[in-house]
Chains A and B, each alone.
Chain A
Amino acid sequence: MEEVNVTLTVNGKEHDLNVAADERLLDTLRDRLHLTGVKEGCSIGECGACTVILDGKAVNSCMVYTFQIDGSEVLTVEGLETNGKLDPLQEAFIDHQAVQCGFCTPGMLMSAKALLKENPDPDREEIKTAIEGNLCRCTGYQQIVDAIESVVKKDGSE
């Protein structure tokens, strides 16, 4: 299988990569770039554990072939913390006890981050829509929604 050359900017850093045809963005991130914060839960785009932000949009990285996205920008959970400071969403997840086993957490954070980038003032229903594709078996979602909502309220919305 021939390899394809792609340039990908991940968490602000540019990478020149040679990827296999059937290499998913998930595989590139986890296996090539060792960003194991991105998780594989189902491989068919149902659970959202592999969610990353691709060119500004939340996507399931198990449903994208890396060869398709030459020149794209990707943000993973590892890119949320900047200069040792946690993203407000990460702080909120900590404060609201929104994490149990933590496996869905990176995906949840990325879906939430993507939402707030597009819409800084979502209501509770919009928050739920943003994470409807992120399955969680531990938390029952309540504290996760509370956490995201708290970031919205803090951001100076009335």
Chain B
Amino acid sequence: MIEFEALKANSLEEALDILAEKKKEVRMVAGGTDMLVQIHHESDDLKGMEYLLDISSIPGLDLIEDNNEYLKIGALCTHSEIMDSVLVNEKFPILKKAAEVIGSTQIRNRGTVGGNINNASPAADLVTALIALDASVVLHSKHGKRELSLSEFITGPYMTDRYEDEILTEVKVPYIQGEYFDCYQKVKRRQAVAIARINLAVITKLKDNKFDDIRIAFGSATPTAMRFREIEAELEGSDLNKIDYDKLADETGQAMVNITGERWSTPYKRPVVGNLLKRALQSIVKEVQ
């Protein structure tokens, strides 16, 4: 059984003071949908936990704001808030598409984007979409703040670069100039409340029917969600009506295996990642028409 003292922060300063003081002995909880499961399962990650710091009441961390060049999403924004946000729907509809397939309504009402990122599951839907969007995260500590790209922040399955005295306070999603297309795909074992077997976020602009700044991010295929840059490079500048889909699918599967090696799940994932990319591109082609 895991036992702990409850701490509650009513301001970011308070939280940072506690983290600076108690460091590894503190774990944070916001929505609780990951933390309480870990506590129930007595996860090894919680060894040494003496305090549980509730940060859900810290004011100002649940805002979604237009900051001219990027959309700022507070770490405490719930998945439901992201889905319902006018700004998100306007600027980054793919985030809504990713958020709405997370868990259930109850989970979306509590789970936060900060929690989703900090948990760093390879299958996290928002993470895959944010990686495609080149998002970055801001971390605060008593000593200041730092910013790094989301792909740098997530260092491995369930592992992040967060220092023990830091709180992730916001996600910055840089605006894409001009019209763009997006597609989000999630393969699951049942039609709701299911972790992604594989997920995919594709974002691209078009210049004379050619892919421009195409981003392809897969989740749950490699140890962390990541962009498949070789595939992006290959498609960049290609005519969207002249794609050799079968070849592309093969290459995508191979690109995955180049990173993961042959694993027990490879016979399934190799063809499916290719198929998903095919499908995403075909849906964009259809939308363009």
Which of B8, B31, B105 is in CB contact (< 8 Å) with A133? B105
B105–A62 CB distance below 8 A: no
Say whether A78 faces chain B, with CB atoms less than 8 Å apart.
Answer: no
Which label, helix, strand, loop or mixed, suits the secondary structure of the A interface?
mixed
Say whether B215 faces chain A, with CB atoms less than 8 Å apart.
Answer: no
Report Cα–Cα, A95/B210, bound state, in Å: 58
Say whether A81 faces chain B, with CB atoms less than 8 Å apart.
Answer: no
Of A29-37, A42-50, A82-90, A149-157, the stretch lying at the interface with chain B is A42-50
Say whether B109 faces chain A, with CB atoms less than 8 Å apart.
Answer: yes
Of B32-40, B63-71, B221-229, B258-266, the stretch lying at the interface with chain A is B32-40
Q: How many residues of B contact A (CB 8 A)?
A: 29
Distance in angstroms from B173 CB to nearest chain A CB is 24
Report Cα–Cα, A21/B54, bound state, in Å: 11
B3–A45 CB distance below 8 A: no
A63–B105 CB distance below 8 A: no
B4–A21 CB distance below 8 A: yes
Which of B3, B31, B36, B105 is in CB contact (< 8 Å) with A24? B36
Which label, helix, strand, loop or mixed, suits the secondary structure of the B interface?
mixed
Indicate the size class of the contact surface on chain A.
20 to 34
Which of A1, A64, A130, A132 is in CB contact (< 8 Å) with B110? A64
A45-B37, A130-B105, A133-B106 as given contacts; A67 in contact with B6, CB under 8 Å: yes
Residues on B lying within 8 angstroms of A by beta carbon are 2-6, 8, 29, 31-33, 36-37, 39-41, 52, 54, 56-57, 80, 103-107, 109-110, 192-193
A45-B106, A63-B32, A134-B104 known; 11 new pairs, CB 8 Å cut-off, are: A22-B4, A24-B36, A44-B41, A45-B33, A60-B107, A63-B31, A63-B106, A63-B107, A67-B54, A68-B32, A68-B56
Q: List 18 A-B contacts (CB under 8 A).
A: A1-B4, A21-B52, A44-B37, A44-B41, A48-B104, A51-B106, A54-B109, A59-B109, A63-B106, A63-B107, A67-B6, A67-B8, A68-B29, A68-B54, A68-B57, A131-B105, A132-B104, A133-B193
